[in-house]
Amino acid sequence: MTGPVIVGADHSPGTADALALGRWLAETLEVPLIVAVVHPAPSAIGSGRVDAEWIADRHRAAERILTEARSTLDDRTGVEYRVVASTSAAHGLHDLAEQTGAAMLVVGSGAAAPAARIFAGSTAERLLAGTICPVAVAPAGGVAPGSLGRIGVAYVDTPDGRAALSAAAALARRTGSPLLLVTVVAGGDAALPFMIGDDAERAFLDTARETYEDALRNAAASVPDVSAEWELRSGDVVEELAALDDVDVLFCGSRGYGPTRRVLLGGVSGRLLRRARRPLVVVPRA
């Protein structure tokens, strides 16, 4: 991770959480921090002067947001502030990430997010539909980034899971924090609704647990220069992962298909965006 951390800022309350998370990530990874505000680009078809006046007004509003961001960051030196013109906030941040080779994009939760919960707004959801770099979403009003001293990974032994582990390990090496790898096995009814007989269900789940434990053990041992612990939990996958509140950030993969090196939300990562208590980082496919 050598490119900048980019924080998408706007007038929403979640921007302060995103700035705090982005600053911590940039300082930890020792990469530049860019705070970007996207305003509408001029329309190809419009009424000339009216469009120009409206665009100028939106540009001034973007500059005011950047002024607020500077104040939030206490005029921290080394931060670059940019106003980007684009057709949408997500599109503008996508383009900026590609142009700069961003290490990560950071945004806040939607306006409806309850305290210490992520609730993805439209920009976050659109960002996660094709971004080339990991996307971090900060929960509303959570604890200070970096205060808990552990990095979480929602791990499955797939290319997506291994990509999430690799990205988490890169951050853990910088912080000196241990990793916590978590796999959740669904309960019997959820795992095998089509099978009849408790014995068959128990046999299947016992075999699955052994397989997952081996995968977790091997994954934890495969990460160099990082202390790694692992847990195998049972229950609803999203509920168990969302309840993790003792990690500074939780990394997860996107999904098992789609263009390589692009984030495309799968069922678990998509639902986690609305439930997680800690910052969630969704990593592109390997």
120 against 283, higher pLDDT: 283
So what's the pLDDT on residue 3?
93
Most confident range (mean pLDDT) of 84-93, 224-233, 238-247 is 224-233
Regarding the domain with residue range 146-286, which homologous superfamily does it belong to in the CATH classification?
A: HUPs (3.40.50.620)
So what's the pLDDT on residue 121?
54
47-58: pLDDT as tens digits: 555 577 877 888
Gyration radius (Cα) of the chain, Å:
20
Q: 283 forms bridges with which residues in the sheet?
A: 253
So what's the pLDDT on residue 187?
63
So what's the pLDDT on residue 242?
86
- How far apart CA 105 and CA 128 sit, in angstroms, is 10
So what's the pLDDT on residue 43?
61
What average pLDDT score do residues 68-85 get? 91
Is the confidence at residue 190, as pLDDT, over 60? no
- How far apart CA 93 and CA 91 sit, in angstroms, is 6
Is the confidence at residue 284, as pLDDT, over 60? yes
What average pLDDT score do residues 79-86 get? 93
SS3 sequence of 47-103: CCHHHHHHHHHHHHHHHHHHHHHHHHCCCCCCEEEEEEEECCHHHHHHHHHHHHCCC
149-184: pLDDT as tens digits: 999 999 988 888 899 999 999 999 999 999 999 998
CATH architecture, range 1-142: 3-Layer(aba) Sandwich (3.40)
Residues of the chain with CATH 3.40.50.620: 1-142, 146-286
* Phi/psi at 65 (5° precision): -65, -40
* Among 38-42, 94-98, 162-166, 226-230, the least confident range: 38-42
8-64: pLDDT as tens digits: 998 888 899 999 999 999 999 999 999 999 988 776 555 555 577 877 888 888 999
Mean pLDDT of the chain: 81
So what's the pLDDT on residue 27?
94
- How far apart CA 61 and CA 135 sit, in angstroms, is 25
82 against 58, higher pLDDT: 82
So what's the pLDDT on residue 208?
77
* Among 45-49, 193-197, 228-232, the least confident range: 193-197
Helix H or strand E encompassing 141: none
So what's the pLDDT on residue 229?
95
So what's the pLDDT on residue 234?
86
What sign does the CA torsion over 112, 115, 119, 121 have? positive
Starting at the edge strand found earlier in the chain, the sheet holding 33-40 runs 79-86, 33-40, 5-8, 104-108, 135-138, 280-283, 249-253, 151-154, 179-185, 228-234
